């Protein structure tokens, strides 16, 4: 079992993933910006780690990874749209700093929560708030692929609050509905399966069993 550190530990996906990872036998560290959220993290069985990832330097992230004895680093953070400068600061720049910090500290395993279609160009104009997100995620994902890390990139479709029932892998429609709980299940599955290293896995709700589906996913490094 591993020490799993989740960046964006109070996000909706992370809060669903944390108890699942604990149940799987992992030690889970949830990185949060606001210390007031610590009780929510601890109620999931995880350890709260307070660090403002948007403003943390690479050195500060390295220190956190060392102190938590991280084996697997998961990026599940996001600016949430709206503010373009914050989107670039978090979804691109901060994500890249965590990749660099992992490389510098010997944390080889890295799981990136991205989105279905990342890197396939823009679907909206520059005046749309989603444009910055598409750009930032494409840059961060490319940086991860070019790193020396053992990465897996997750590509869920449009997120919903539905319960997870099964998975469909290797889809193309960017708006394929995907329960957040399914993203959490996929996160747990790929951490447990080294055959997913080097894969970008696009998925949405479906009828297939998660672990078998991600293991059988094509060995593609992007969503193109």
Contacts 24+ apart (CB under 8 A), 169-172: 169/201, 169/202, 169/203, 169/206, 169/208, 169/213, 169/214, 169/216, 169/217, 170/202, 170/203, 170/217, 170/218, 171/116, 171/202, 171/203, 171/204, 172/117, 172/202
Would you say residue 223 lies in a domain?
A: no
Q: Quick one: average pLDDT of 32-56?
A: 98
Would you say residue 54 lies in a domain?
A: yes
Q: What is the pLDDT of residue 175?
A: 65
Would you say residue 43 lies in a domain?
A: yes
Q: State pLDDT tens for residues 108-151.
A: 999 999 999 888 877 787 877 788 999 999 999 999 999 999 99
Would you say residue 220 lies in a domain?
A: no
Q: How many domains does the chain have?
A: 1
Q: How confident is the model at residue 202 (pLDDT cuts 50, 70, 90)?
A: very high
pLDDT at 174 over 70: no
Would you say residue 224 lies in a domain?
A: no
Q: State pLDDT tens for residues 71-86.
A: 999 999 998 767 899 9
Q: How confident is the model at residue 47 (pLDDT cuts 50, 70, 90)?
A: very high
pLDDT at 156 over 90: yes
**CA 32 – CA 121 distance, rounded (Å):** 31
Q: What is the pLDDT of residue 91?
A: 97
Q: How confident is the model at residue 224 (pLDDT cuts 50, 70, 90)?
A: confident
Q: What is the pTM of this model?
A: 0.96
Would you say residue 222 lies in a domain?
A: no
Supply the range of the domain harboring residue 82.
3-215
Q: What is the pLDDT of residue 117?
A: 86
Q: Could you tell me the CATH number of the domain that includes residue 202?
A: 3.40.50.720
Would you say residue 180 lies in a domain?
A: yes
Would you say residue 33 lies in a domain?
A: yes
């Amino acid at each position: 079992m591993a020490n799993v550190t989740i960046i964006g530990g109070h996000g909706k996906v992370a809060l669903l993933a944390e108890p699942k990872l604990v149940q799987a036998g992992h030690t889970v560290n949830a990185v949060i910006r606001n210390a007031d959220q610590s009780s929510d993290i601890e109620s999931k069985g995880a350890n709260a780690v307070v660090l403002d990832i948007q403003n943390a330097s690479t050195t500060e992230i390295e220190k956190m990874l060392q102190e938590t004895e991280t084996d697997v680093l998961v990026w599940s953070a996001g600016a949430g749209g709206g503010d373009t400068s914050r989107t670039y600061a978090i979804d691109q720049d901060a994500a890249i700093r965590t990749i660099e910090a992992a490389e510098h500290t010997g944390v080889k395993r890295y799981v990136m929560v991205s989105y279905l279609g990342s890197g396939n160009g823009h679907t909206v104009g520059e005046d749309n708030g989603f444009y910055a997100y598409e750009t930032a995620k494409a840059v961060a994902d490319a940086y991860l692929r070019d790193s020396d890390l053992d990465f897996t990139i997750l590509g869920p479709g449009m997120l919903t609050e539905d319960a997870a029932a099964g998975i469909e892998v290797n889809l193309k429609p960017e708006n394929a509905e995907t329960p957040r709980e399914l993203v959490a299940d996929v996160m747990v599955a790929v951490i447990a399966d080294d055959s997913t290293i080097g894969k970008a896995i696009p998925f949405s709700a479906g009828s297939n069993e998660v672990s078998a589906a991600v293991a059988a996913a094509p060995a593609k490094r992007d969503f193109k």
